[in-house]
Amino acid sequence: MEDDEIEAESRSDSRAGAEDSNGEAAGRKPKLSRKNIFTLVSAASVNFSSMICYSILGPFFPTEAEKKGVNQTVTGLIFGCYALCTLLGSLVLGKYIVQIGAKFMLCAGLFLSGGCTVLFGLLDRVPHGVPFILMCFIVRSIDAVGFAAAMTSSFAIIAKAFPNNIATVLGILEIFTGLGLVLGPPLGGFLYQSFGYEIPFIVLGFVLILMVPLNIYVLPSYDATPSKDSFWRLFTLPKISLLCFLIFSMSSCFGFLDPTMSLFVIEKFHLPTGYVGLVFLVLALFNSLSSPLLGIVSDKMPNTRRWLMVIGGITAALGYCFLGPAPFLHLKSQLWLFVFMLALTGFSSGMTCIPTLPEIVKCAYENGFEDDLSTLGLVSGLYGAVWSFGTFFGPTVGGFLVEKFSFEWAAAAQGGLIFISVLFLGIYYFVEPCFRRPATTSVEENEERAPLLSNHI
């Protein structure tokens, strides 16, 4: 009975958006339903709690790992294995989201991830060397599967609840993602300096577990019919392949900074661990503050998405080249320049990443995928898998490059990867009109411009 009411409410909201976009109900303002508000609250809690637990490792774990006899390459692999298992989990869970149930998947993922975060805080009691390394890999891998379950279901639910305003909602959620990334490093660094290695993980792990009953209470249930479509058919669409390459390059750069930036800042600028957390704050802060505005622009003016991605990608590529800065620039490394480049890359990453998910969803629908939760699960799983592959590649290869060459050269290489992906995407958008088939304007295309937030809020 409850599912019928939810489906009826969704159809009613969709019809209202269509009428407003076609001018048939000009006096009526679209507004958030109770169901949509609860969905936003749930997704916000998932983003915040998951990211605050994910981000606490950056400021102090590389130093703690060195004490346990772990070199920088292996530390990068410990960071990278999380992403690799998230990749595999996203593909499997995205395919079977309908069979498992989106709400159950989200809550179970939160519980699993929170429990593993607590266990990770107890690893300082494990002996040095191989036992410590092995336990880090096991706990982080299981944690990653829980994270994949929570984020894959969250993205799919958001796309289902807000089909015409995906970028706007993602921009709003980036505030909570950024808040988690912003609070994680300084809070983790403070707790580490004040209470030692265990307390940051235990405290924040229980914060994640406490999100489970909240989401059980507020999150509506979503049902759908399993789809016969596959990840391979989705990924082999040329436009989606290029968008995935862009997502991969951006996530690789984010992942590269996790195990390498703290050691670079400490060695180059002689900052204490507590202040290193504040440096991590800059990137997340500028990304989260810019994303809501960029999401609104992306939804209100869909034709600007390609320019946002291309311009943002080029800016991010330049930012990483100046982050070190790259040796071929012959510039002296200074703290103010480093912080400014972090702020620039944070803003430009919002320009690049926010439009990608709605563009993938739109491309999937244009190529015959069904408009249901099953397709959104495939899209969400693919997005999470590609992002995770980048965050595996970034710290793994980045850690190796830093160890063999330097942070400056490794950062420049990451910037070059972004530039190549943007170049290919820009070429595609340039030649796309030559191969596009003429199509009539549909109600769905008009609905895409319907605002999510009205004057009632």
User: For residue 11, what pLDDT is reported?
Assistant: 45
Q: How confident is the model at residue 222 (pLDDT cuts 50, 70, 90)?
A: low
More confident residue, 230 or 400: 400
Return the pLDDT at 287: 77
pLDDT tops 50 at residue 20 = no
Return d(Cα 289, Cα 146) in angstroms, integer.
Answer: 27
What is the Cα Rg of the chain in Å?
22
**Which pLDDT score is estimated for 9?**
46
Q: Which of 30-44, 181-195, 350-364 has the highest mean pLDDT?
A: 350-364
pLDDT at 8: 46
The whole-angstrom separation of Cα 33 and Cα 16 is 12
Q: What confidence tier does 160 reach under pLDDT thresholds 50, 70, 90? A: confident
- pLDDT at position 439 over 50: no
On the question of pLDDT at 451 being above 70, the answer is no
User: Average pLDDT, stretch 98-102?
Assistant: 78
pLDDT tens-digit map of 197-211: 788 888 888 888 888
* pLDDT at site 273: 65
Mean pLDDT score of the chain, rounded to an integer? 76
What average pLDDT score do residues 60-78 get?
A: 77
pLDDT of residue 437: 56
pLDDT score at 419: 92
Nearest to 373 by CA among 152, 221, 225: 225
* pLDDT tens profile 387-396: 878 877 887 7
At 224 the pLDDT is 60
Instruction: State mean pLDDT over 417-446.
Output: 71
Average pLDDT over residues 238-246: 90
- Give the mean pLDDT of 124-143: 86
Look at residue 435 in the predicted model and tell me its pLDDT.
65
**How far lies 217's CA from each of 36, 44, 107, 150, 213, in Å?**
14, 14, 11, 16, 6
User: How many whole angstroms separate alpha carbon 249 and alpha carbon 63?
Assistant: 27
Determine the pLDDT at residue 21. Answer: 39
Question: 218-255: string of b/e by CB count within 10 Å (b at 16+)?
Answer: ebbebebeebebebeebeebebbebbbbbbbbbbbbbb
Lowest mean pLDDT among 142-151, 220-229, 311-320: 220-229
Place of tokens 């058919």: 233
Residue 27 in this model has a pLDDT that exceeds 50: no
Give the per-residue pLDDT at 446. Answer: 44
Q: What is the pLDDT of residue 292?
A: 80
- Which pair of tokens denotes residue 225? 């019919």
Q: CA angle at residue 184 from 142 to 280, to 5 degrees?
A: 115
pLDDT tens per residue across span 365-380: 888 777 777 777 788 7
Residue 162: the pLDDT is 79
Q: Identify whether the C-beta of residue 386 lies closer than 8 Å to the C-beta of residue 247.
A: yes
Q: What percent of the chain has pLDDT over 90?
A: 2
- Residue 14: pLDDT band by 50, 70, 90 thresholds? very low
- Closest listed residue to residue 33, CA positions, set 157, 151, 162, 159: 162
Question: Is the pLDDT higher at 168 or at 259?
Answer: 168
